[in-house]
């Protein structure tokens, strides 16, 4: 497993590095071809994005791996991961090193090439047991999770249908703590169109789009809090100092905790945009949406977490979880009504930075945890409407 992780982490598969993602998809297809079922690499759906000049353009993404095993089985699961990382092809963080024995530093070693190795090992183990008589599963490893899964959202939604539960292989915390409830996430680009004018001769004839975008950012930030946070992240636009800027693009992220908070955030956006358009004499166009719905810890999710915790206890592992503001494909899966534990990957930390690390002993540990959980589900030990803590010995 460590060899796999190091091999995969040597491939730069940043979300926008299409060549690297092609290489990574082919390597993963080779690895997962050792499992039964139908494996294919799915072309990404086209995705629109707003360029800095305010024009809408189409962004390309890499292919997604989809493996379907025993689709007619009575018990069916979904397992997901992502092959992309946050490190582009020109990022300085490209190499691996040992921080100390058993702690590997490298791009994607925890998030989540280590998690993919855990998933594959667990499934390979399951295929040697009597679980094959009852258990079917779909595996989706997408190429765009780190940018919100815009081109794979449909694939995730389709493969979630009819599944009793799901596991996603994001990394756990270094101490093994899992993510429980998650906030949602919405990314927006708001295009502001004003009117240019000479900054010295007739500035009042202009309509300053940059100023309007800044005002909008302040209003959105001031209106957040409580049930949702707001992060105005960037303003594109402007030009020479002697020209009133006629266009700007505000990039902003919202993190609602509940579906009701998501509605409140959207109402704030609409109200603030209307006020800025009126007071600054500009026009505004909203692009984007809430791509990651909030993921509450409902009763079905609690039962699935309970199964994983019991499996951990029987392996000598203490499994706990806590709520987080981070998001992942688990948000989208839960929105389909499928309970999901979305941090079944390795123990590691400092993800999304050049300090990212993998605790190597967690490779085998977490593969055993997944394999036992999968085996017990195959034995009918998990029903979303029943207490799975009864009769949990293997």
Strand partners, 64: 42
CA distance 185 to 331: 9
120, 257: one domain = no
Domain identity same for 88 and 150: yes
State whether 272 and 329 are in the same domain: no
**Which pLDDT belongs to residue 321?**
96
Same domain, 15 and 76: yes
> Is 387 part of a structural domain of the chain?
no
In our burial notation (b when 16+ CB lie closer than 10 A, e otherwise), range 194-211 reads bbbbeeeeeeeebbbbbb
3-state DSSP assignment of residue 104: strand
CATH number at residue 364: 3.40.630.10
Same domain, 164 and 214: no
Pairwise CA distance, residues 279 & 263, whole Å: 24
Distance (Å, whole) CA 219 – CA 282 = 16
- Residue 367 DSSP SS3: helix
Query: Are 16 and 97 within one domain?
Result: yes
Instruction: Identify the domain boundary among 258, 291, 324.
Output: 291
Other Cβ atoms within 10 Å of 347 Cβ, number = 23
- Cα gap 218→236, rounded to integer Å: 16
Q: Per the domain annotation, does 174 fall within a domain?
A: yes
- Note the pLDDT of residue 388: 38
Q: Domain span at residue 218?
A: 185-291
Asked if 275 and 226 sit in the same domain, the reply is: yes
Residue 393 falls within a domain, yes or no?
no
285 lies in the same domain as 299: no
Neighbours of 299 (CB within 10 A): 9
| Residue 226, in any domain of the structure | yes
Residue 392 lies in a domain: no
Domain co-membership, 248 together with 363: no
Residues 277 and 355 in one domain: no
CATH of the domain at 258: 3.30.70.360
Q: Are 248 and 235 in contact (CB under 8 A)?
A: yes
Q: What is the pLDDT of residue 292?
A: 96
Last-in-domain residue among 291, 324, 356: 291
What are the pLDDT tens digits along the chain (394 aa)? 999 999 999 999 999 999 999 999 999 999 999 999 999 999 999 999 999 999 999 999 999 999 999 999 999 999 999 999 999 999 999 999 999 999 999 999 999 999 999 999 999 999 999 999 999 999 999 999 999 999 999 999 999 999 999 999 999 999 999 999 999 999 999 999 999 999 999 999 999 999 999 999 999 999 999 899 999 999 999 999 999 999 999 999 999 999 999 999 999 999 999 999 999 999 999 999 999 999 999 999 999 999 999 999 999 999 999 999 899 999 999 999 999 999 999 999 999 999 999 999 999 999 999 999 999 999 999 987 654 333 333 3
Tokens of 103: 């702690």
Identify the domain boundary among 259, 274, 291: 291
CA nearest 141: which of 60, 48, 30? Answer: 30
330 assigned to some structural domain: yes
Residue at 257 is within a domain? yes
Quickly list H helices, 148-195: 153-160
Residue 236 included in any domain: yes
Q: In this structure, what token pair is assigned to residue 59? A: 């962004």
Same-domain pairing of 166 and 212: no
Number of domains in the chain: 2
Please indicate, yes or no, whether residues 174 and 194 belong to a single structural domain of this protein: no
Show the 3-state SS of 190-201.
EEEECECCECCC
What pLDDT is recorded for position 208? Answer: 98
């Amino acid at each position: 497993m460590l060899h796999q992780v190091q091999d995969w982490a040597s491939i730069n598969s940043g979300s926008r590095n299409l060549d690297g993602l092609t290489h990574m998809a082919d390597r993963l297809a080779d690895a997962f071809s050792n499992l039964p079922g139908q494996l294919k690499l799915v072309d990404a759906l086209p995705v629109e994005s707003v360029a800095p000049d305010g024009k809408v353009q189409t962004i390309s993404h890499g292919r997604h791996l989809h493996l379907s095993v025993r689709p007619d089985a009575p018990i069916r699961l979904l397992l997901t991961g992502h092959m992309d990382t946050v490190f582009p092809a020109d990022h300085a963080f490209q190499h691996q090193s040992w921080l100390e024995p058993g702690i590997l530093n490298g791009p994607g070693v925890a998030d989540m090439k280590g998690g993919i190795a855990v998933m594959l090992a667990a499934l390979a183990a399951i295929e040697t047991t009597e679980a094959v008589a009852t258990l079917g599963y779909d595996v989706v490893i997408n190429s765009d999770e780190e940018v919100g899964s815009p081109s794979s959202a449909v694939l995730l939604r389709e493969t979630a249908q009819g599944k009793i539960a799901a596991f996603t292989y994001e990394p756990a915390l270094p101490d093994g703590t899992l993510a429980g409830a998650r906030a949602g996430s919405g990314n927006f680009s708001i295009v502001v169109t004003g009117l240019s004018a000479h900054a010295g001769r007739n500035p009042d004839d202009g309509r300053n789009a940059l100023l309007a975008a800044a005002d909008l950012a302040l209003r959105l930030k001031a209106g957040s809090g409580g049930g949702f946070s707001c992060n105005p992240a960037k303003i594109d636009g402007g030009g020479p100092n002697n020209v009133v800027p006629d266009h700007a693009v505000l990039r902003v992220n919202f993190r609602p905790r509940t579906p009701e908070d998501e509605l409140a955030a959207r109402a704030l956006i609409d109200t603030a945009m209307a006020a800025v358009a009126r007071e600054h004499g500009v026009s505004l166009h909203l692009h984007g949406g809430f791509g990651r719905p909030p993921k509450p810890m409902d009763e079905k999710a609690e039962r699935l977490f309970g199964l994983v915790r019991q499996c951990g206890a029987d392996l000598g592992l203490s499994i706990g979880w806590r709520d987080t503001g981070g998001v992942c494909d688990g948000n989208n899966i839960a929105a389909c009504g499928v309970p999901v534990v979305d941090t079944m990957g390795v123990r590691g930390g400092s993800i999304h930075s050049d300090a990212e690390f993998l605790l190597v002993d967690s490779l085998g540990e977490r593969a055993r945890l997944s394999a036992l959980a999968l085996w017990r589900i195959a034995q009918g030990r998990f029903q979303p409407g029943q207490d799975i803590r009864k009769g949990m010995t293997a």
